[in-house]
Amino acid sequence: MSDAKYSLVVAMLTAGGLVGALSASYVSDRFGRRLALFGTAILMGIGSVIMTFAVNTATLMAGRFVAGLGSGIVTVVVPAYIAECVPKASRGFFGTLNQLAIVVGILVAQGVGMAWSTLAAWRSILAIGIVLAIAQLLLLPFCVDSPRHLASIPGGLNSAKASLLRLRGPPMELVEAEVNEWRNEQMGGGEEDQQTHVATVVESERPKINVVRLLSTAQYRRPLLIILLLQLTQQFSGINAVIFYSTSIMSAVFPESSDLITVYISVVNLLMTIVSAYLMDRVGRRTLFLVSSSMMAVMSILLGWSIEAAGQDKISAAAIIGFVAAFAIGLGPIPFLMIPELVDTPAVSSAGSVGLACNMVSNFVVSAGFLGLRDIIGQDGVFYLFGFILVVMTCLAVYILPETKGRSADEVIRSNWAIHSPQHYQPVRTPPTTTTEV
């Protein structure tokens, strides 16, 4: 296979992912989070079957495109699904577990690839995708539908309560209290309202927000700006370029382990993602993001200097490890974790679609442009540039990135995306379109 064909095969997964990301909002809102996940398992299973039994390059590309469709949708749906199912105080921890699962998957895939990347066994690597798809199809029936999504559908209140009861367990009074808390968040009500209307819950009839409406509605401009800031910072930090360049640098420091370099980097990523899961609900998203981006800026500049100075392989290796570690505690999990915390339930899927599309396009730009830019300004210059971008993005985040830890999306929205939760603000009351007596 020529380099051009190989590049096209690789790119087909990203192309499918982009299409999947843009369609994820419709699929997720039309069929619900759980059914959408059933669909993604089927798509990724079919894609894996096509790739496993591919007889030519065109078939292999088709399989990667179909698998990419499922990957794009699932990347949007899962963060929203998790955020809508877990208690508010635990969103950060469970949201980071999603990133941890991705990192573990990468590490396992690298290990399997090292063992089975032979002419006799390469199809077995692709067949693992079939096994994983079947496992997901078998396990999803034990998962509940998103209670908050159900509550946002006219007539879905009782289903939402039943779903929440399965998640939280008895007594039913606690389930009623949590659903009533959602109602008060949507209405901007206080304690008096909660006591007066404890048996009355809003069933929202607000229309679902598609991508076009999200992009064209003034009220979503601020959260879109924040979401784009998070996604662009993640990719234009140069994380993929650093990992790409790490092999040649680390090979000079550890020549006997050159084939294990990417595995070592993934282990660092895994360990620091575990640390991030512990810190997310204790320190907060905003703080971790600022610490992460600041440390990555320092490490990127240090890496550029060590390359420019020459003969500083150990410093380069330390900078790469520090860069990946800093990425894992903040910029890795936060961009997608925060999306359900910045927009209301009807707009979550569309916001996730826009965020992932931006992420994938910027990822392509960095990956495709790295080598050409390196030839123009040098390898040290590229990492100086990444460091400068990180400094600029960090400064922007200081002024516009809100802290969402312990705050509902409705509270963040009503505070006009204030950096911190106002101590004494009077929320704007939005009367419900309909109410249903329970």
In the structure, what pLDDT confidence band is assigned to residue 45 with cuts at 50, 70 and 90? very high
- With b meaning 16 or more CB within 10 Å and e meaning fewer, what string describes 66-100? bbbbbbbbbbbbbbbbbbbbbebeebbbbbbbbbb
Neighbours of 125 (CB within 10 A): 17
Question: What's the CA gap between 207 and 39, in Å, rounded?
Answer: 23
d(CA 163, CA 106): 32
Contact, 93 vs 277, CB < 8 A?
A: yes
- For residue 196, what pLDDT is reported? 36
- CA 123 from chain centre, in angstroms, equals 29
Please write the tens of the pLDDT for every residue from 355-395.
999 998 888 888 778 778 888 898 889 899 999 999 999 99
Contact by Cβ (8 Å): 407, 421: yes
Per-residue pLDDT tens for 319-332? Answer: 989 999 999 999 99
Give CA–CA dist 65/51, Å, rounded.
10
pLDDT score for 252: 66
Distances (CA, A) of 339 to 20, 80, 327: 18, 8, 18
Which pLDDT value is given to residue 407? 84
Tokens of 421: 């939760």
- Residue 17: closest CA among 333, 363, 432: 363
Token representation of residue 423: 């101590």
DSSP symbol at 95: H
Query: DSSP string of 311-365?
Result: S-HHHHHHHHHHHHHHIIIIITTHHHHSHHHHS-HHHHHHHHHHHHHHHHHHHHH
- Residue 229: the pLDDT is 95
Q: What is the pLDDT of residue 206?
A: 57
Element spanning 83, H or E = helix 57-85
Tell me which of 132 and 345 has the higher pLDDT: 132
At 202, is the secondary structure helix, strand, or coil? strand
Average pLDDT over residues 245-253: 70
Is the pLDDT assigned to residue 197 strictly greater than 60? no
Q: Please report the pLDDT score of residue 106 as a whole number.
A: 85
Q: Which amino acid is at 249?
A: I
* Cross-strand partners of 294: none
Residue 159 has pLDDT above 60, yes or no: yes
Q: In the predicted model, what is the mean pLDDT of residues 112-125?
A: 84
Cα gap 212→376, rounded to integer Å: 38
E strand residue ranges, 74-137: none
Q: How confident is the model at residue 127 (pLDDT cuts 50, 70, 90)?
A: very high
Name residue 226's amino acid.
I
What does the block give as tokens for 414?
């009503």
* Neighbouring residues of 399: CB distance < 8 A, sequence distance ≥ 6: none
Closest listed residue to residue 253, CA positions, set 302, 321, 304: 321
CATH topology of domain 3-143+210-410: Growth Hormone; Chain: A; (1.20.1250)
Domain boundaries defined on the chain: 3-143+210-410, 147-201
**Given CA atoms 28, 30, 31, 33 in this order, what sign does their dihedral have?**
positive
CA 330 – CA 157 distance, rounded (Å): 36
Contact 101, 164 (CB under 8 A): no
Q: 159: how many CB neighbours lie within 10 A of its CB?
A: 16
